[in-house]
Amino acid sequence: MSLTLKKLIDRYRDDPDSAFPNLHYQVRAKHGRLLARISHEHGHHPLRNVRTRTLVVWYKAWLADGKVAMAHALFSRLRVVFRFGATMLEDRDCDRLLDAVGDIRLQTSRSDTLQMTIEQANDIRGVAKQKGMFSMAIAQALQFELLMSQKDVIGEWLPSSEPGDSGTTREKKGKWLRGLRWECIDENLILRHTVGKSRRRIEVDLRTAPMVLEELGTSDRHTLPTSGPMIICETTGYPYSTAEFRRKWRIVAKLAGVPDNVKNRDSTPPGMIVGGAGRARISQTITPQMINYSLRMLRKK
């Protein structure tokens, strides 16, 4: 009996040998929402009745209102579940559909985002301090000069059941992980942290990061806090949630005159591995995988 698309998605989500249960929490939640939408809209279809033309019709519907990124994300989840069905379940219909999704040409979109300039980073820092959001000013300096992602700087709140030890918890928020802590800075102002999806280790001499030193207000490590999260929301006394930081950052950026097509993520230029004009001196181990990723990101520009 042929699987329906919904049953295939359920198997992919629940099978212990599937990649889904091992995804990072935030990725798993995002992919779960996409899979739920696919299941709601098309889960009743038996796989044997799904043809290439069927997939094209679905894709065109997802493209409605120019939502290219969403259509790509949904189609990517289809590809993943068909691959799971073809390899792990050895289902012939999944094998056929995996070939079909590979043959469909997807619409490309041009990014209208711009790389953040040093002047814009400085303007954002200035407005943030005027509004009493001193941690946001530090975060902007860290992101721009140290080429760190927002998540690597501010961290993220995860359910208490997720793996990882944390000394920072909050009722209804869970536990805080991954962000910068004061313990990451040694007595010589060398910052050590693990960053990115690969959790690679970096070392940065903060004495080569004038923006960061300006926000810290000192080059003497002994005058800085010894422990705890570096970036704290001044109104709550806890690390920012991702949504709250993004919302407040956009408010500050607007007040600073930064265009809407300059995003917080554009603090880090795509494809840059280490260093660069206006950036701190960063030490890390360069691997072939990192170089390949860097080149892929550059090609997307």
Question: What CATH architecture is 118-300?
Answer: Orthogonal Bundle (1.10)
pLDDT for the residue numbered 279: 56
DSSP 239: P
- 110 pLDDT band, cuts 50/70/90, is low
Neighbours of 59 (CB within 10 A): 19
The pLDDT tens digits of the residues spanning 89-102 come to 999 999 999 999 99
- 280 pLDDT band, cuts 50/70/90, is low
The pLDDT tens digits of the residues spanning 66-76 come to 788 899 999 99
- Is pLDDT of 294 > 70? no
pLDDT for the residue numbered 263: 85
- Is pLDDT of 281 > 80? no
Mean pLDDT value across residues 138-149: 93
pLDDT for the residue numbered 289: 47
- Is pLDDT of 232 > 90? yes
- CA 228/CA 178 separation, integer angstroms: 12
pLDDT for the residue numbered 198: 77
Q: In what helix (H) or strand (E) does residue 157 lie, and over which residues does it extend?
A: strand 156-158
pLDDT for the residue numbered 20: 96
Residue from 61, 241, 236, 249 nearest 138 by CA: 249
Across the chain, where does the E strand assignment appear?
Answer: 156-158, 169-170, 174-177, 190-195, 200-205, 282-284
What are the extents of the domains in the chain?
5-103, 118-300
pLDDT for the residue numbered 167: 84
